[in-house]
Amino acid sequence: MRWVDEFRDPAAARRLADGIATAMTRPWTVMEICGGQTHTIARYGIEDLLPEGLTLLHGPGCPVCVTPLEIIEAARALALRKGVVVCSFGDMLRVPGARGDLLDARSRGGDVRVVLSPLDAVQLAARDPSQHYVLFGVGFETTAPATAMAAELARRLDLDNFSLLTSHVRVPPAMAQLLSDPEGHIDGFLAAGHVCAVEGLADYPAIAARFGAPIVITGFEPVDILDGLLRCVLQLEAGRHEVENQYARAVRADGNPAARATVDAVFEVVDAPWRGLGVVKEGGLAMRSSWARFDARRRFDLTVAPADEPTTCRSGLVLTGRLLPTQCPEFGRGCDPDRPLGAPMVSTEGACAAYYQFRRSAIEERA
Amino acid sequence: MADASCPVPFSTYERVVLAHGGGGRVMHRLIDELFLAAFGADPLRAQHDGAVIEVSGLLAVTTDAFTVRPLVFPGGDIGSLAVHGTVNDLVCCGATPTQMTVSFILEEGLALERLRAIVGSMAAAAREVGLTIVAGDTKVVERGKGDGVFISATGLGRVITPGPLSPSRVRPGDAVLVTGPVGDHGVAVMLEREGLSVDTVGDFVSDAASCLPQLRALLDAGVDLRCLRDPTRGGLATVLNEIARAAEVGVHLDDAAVPVRAEVRDACELLGLDPLYVACEGRLVVFVPEPDAPAALAALRATPGSEGAARVGAVTREHAGLVMAASSFGTTRVLDLLSGEQLPRIC
């Protein structure tokens, strides 16, 4: 497949890995922000190609992992209401809320459907006026435009039986929060290429300058990641902290203005809770009051009490890069993909699940 | 509830009604005009409570239930799928299929023309491998309580391998082959079900087929077969895990050697699926002693339907119970069982 195969080329990967080893004169710690990148790192065993001094931290960029418990509980409650259908992405269905996941709600008679596109949920609602369809829209700046388009389409079709329960979050504020953590020790970042494909690069120079950390906008294939790491290491070794675009084949400096305008028309920036990180200043998007008609939070009485994470789950530490999944005492013992304690063990983009799925034997051998 | 003995003739209904399962005339006409007309075997025509068959030698038995949405997909339908699935389970027991029993659970409202087409393709698939349908049953459930048609089938077969095939015969050092590209069936069905058009990248047709020619070719080539498996639900990765656990061996998979058609790979990229976990319905995973691997591969490649056979890995003493996949990067990863079904990812 063009645009894919060349970025999985072993010879190119080896050259980049050698470049990293040659460039390094001292240890560095780099966080990849995005779960898609974490998935690639685990799937291709990229850490095995890297010199020992380069530590990768796996950031909170797994969209389902950072969706707050109480929103999942709200989605479950909606699904269990008679006449309400909750539509969501496939990997959201198995993320545990405080009392269960959406699959569990379905087994209790709730109507939960998997959609591949938010627009499909609108079409379902248009075809079936007898039920109310709620799109459970989660994710980063990447998925927000499609959610906003669903709202726009519903308004254009003048649908009374469609609304959105959204939990969209914004990545750059979370990066700033991670960098300002006094217990953290992140030298540089691989930023999420697809987020930048929408948002562009404007948010990053201030963060790089304020924290003195290089930020390399990076793609998702193994060669992308090694290239991003090499660029990051070269900057660190040279004492630079610039914003660099490794993913230029998809990311323009101004991103995708049309997608941004669509998001801006429907959503406003708010302080928002991230599961594992707490409230992130300007870290989320909420539907504007002019869209109240399509806002499930306003249409339904959705007062869900804040819920606590299981005390044994250390996903907050994992999501902030302070604990490797394998350092968690519950990893593979009290917590595995069949019985996840927290969201990072659910999605294959979650750091814990990625480690569990791909890296288990390496870990067992080390033990 | 409809009157089970309603005398209205079968031909006046265009759809399945509850009376079709009621035991009365409507049901008997359905059996006569649709099932017997298609399957036409003597034991079935006897319309007794069961079939009596003569058996000599080793008998293989398998049973399976079939549910698929949509009922008809590119390359097959639930009827042919039920036959191919049953046949391939028998093939994995080293048997050539001989008889089969089927029961149909029909949902009220199913178009009879659709049922006729499904039964017809089932009969054709059975004929192709010399399989006789000797007994059957029909039940009808209310609308909304089924998914059109569910089929449950039991197959009998005559064992034609010199010895039994079993995971316990798999040994470290054995070669692992697949009889063709993986993932075609699962992707074809998923694209059809979700109404996704990925036609810019190619055609998607299920691989559903009988693997009996492959078994025959391997035996004719004098290959010492250790074990055969058909990688249906959960795909190649799941079968390898099952063998690794059952035989207490490791399996080393060479990721780059696994044949996947380019369009299937592309569709999986778009959907966020791993083709190693996508179902096949016309492929076998073959375990043979390493010295027999070249002959096995040559025999498969010379057989229509398995021209794309490939050697994909080896059985190891290390990593017992685990499947290790080697990437082209020289790194290895665990190829684990999935927790549930693969779900398309969010982004």
The per-residue pLDDT of chain B, averaged, comes to 90
| Same domain flag for B36 and B145 | yes
Contact between B122 and B71 under an 8 Å Cβ cutoff? The reply is no
- Distance CA(B331)–CA(A38), nearest Å, equals 16
Inter-residue contact A313 to A289 (CB < 8 Å): no
For chain A positions 188-247, those within 8 Å of chain B (CB to CB) are: 194, 222
Is the bond preceding residue B70 a cis peptide, omega within 30 degrees?
yes
Q: Same domain, yes or no, for B227 and B274?
A: yes
Last residue of a domain, one of B159, B188, B219: B159
Work out the minimum CA distance from A179 to partner chain B, whole angstroms: 25
Rounded-to-integer distance, Cα A261 and Cα B140, Å: 54
- The answer to whether residues B268 and B342 touch, using CB atoms and an 8 Å cutoff, is no
Question: What span, in angstroms and rounded, lies between the C-alpha atoms of A50 and B53?
Answer: 65
Number of helical (H) and strand (E) elements in chain A, helices listed first: 14, 11
**Other residues' Cβ atoms within 10 Å of the Cβ of residue B164:** 14
Placement of tokens 């035989």 in the chain: B247
Please tell me whether residues B113 and B14 are part of one structural domain: yes
Residue B195 has pLDDT above 50, yes or no: yes
pLDDT beyond 50 at A297: yes
Residue A120 is encoded by which pair of tokens?
């499909």
Q: How many CB atoms are located within 10 Å of the residue B139 CB?
A: 14
Are the beta carbons of B269 and A43 separated by less than 8 Å?
Answer: no
Is some CB atom of chain B closer than 8 A to the CB atom of A43? yes
CA distances in angstroms from A107 to A76, A85, A305, listed in the order given: 11, 14, 23
Both B122 and B203 in a single domain?
Answer: no
Identify whether residues B132 and B254 lie together within a single domain. Answer: no
**CATH code of B109's domain:** 3.30.1330.10
Assess whether B185 and B295 both reside in one domain. Answer: yes
Domain A69-170+255-299 coded CATH 3.90.1150.10 = no
Question: Where among B159, B193, B225 does a domain terminate?
Answer: B159
Which residue in the block uniquely carries the two structure tokens 């530490």? A317
CB contact (8 A) between residue B347 and residue A92? no
Task: Over range B86-107, report the average pLDDT.
Answer: 97
Residues B144 and B191 in one domain: no
Confidence check: pLDDT of B199 > 80: no
Among chain B residues, CA nearest to A36: B347
Confidence (pLDDT) at B271 = 81
Report whether pLDDT(A313) > 50. yes
- Nearest by CB to residue B329, choosing from A4, A42, A45, is A45
Question: Degrees (nearest 5) of the Cα angle B144, A100, A72?
Answer: 95
**B119 and B236 fall within a common domain:** no
Nearest CB partner across the interface for B329, out of A1, A49, A138:
A49
Average pLDDT over residues A342-351: 79
A175 Cβ under 8 Å from any chain B Cβ: no
| B121 assigned to some structural domain | yes
**ipTM score:** 0.76
Strand (E) positions, chain B? 59-66, 72-73, 76-77, 95-107, 132-141, 149-159, 175-178, 227-229, 250-254, 285-288, 310-316, 323-326, 332-334
| Mean per-residue pLDDT of chain A | 91
A14 CB near a chain B CB, below 8 Å? Answer: yes
pLDDT level of residue A222 (50, 70, 90 thresholds): very high
Residue B94's pLDDT is what?
Answer: 97
Domain that holds residue B24: 10-159
Nearest residue of A to residue B323 by CA position?
A361
CATH number for the domain including B268? 3.90.650.10
Tell me the pLDDT band of B6, cut-offs 50, 70 and 90: very low
For the stretch A129-157, pLDDT in tens is 999 999 999 999 999 999 999 999 999 99
Distance from CA of B335 to the nearest CA of A (A): 6
B322 in A contact zone (CB under 8 Å):
yes
Whether B30 maps to a domain, the answer reads yes
Between the two ends of chain B, the Cα-to-Cα distance in Å is: 48
Residue type, A194: H
Give me the percent of chain B exceeding a pLDDT of 70. Answer: 92
Pick the residue from chain A with its C-alpha nearest to B264: A1
For residue A241 the two structure tokens come to: 């902290």
Which of B159, B182, B200 is the C-terminal boundary of a domain? B159
Count the domains in chain B.
2
Q: Does B333 touch chain A (CB under 8 A)?
A: yes
C-alpha distance from B345 to closest chain A C-alpha (Å): 6
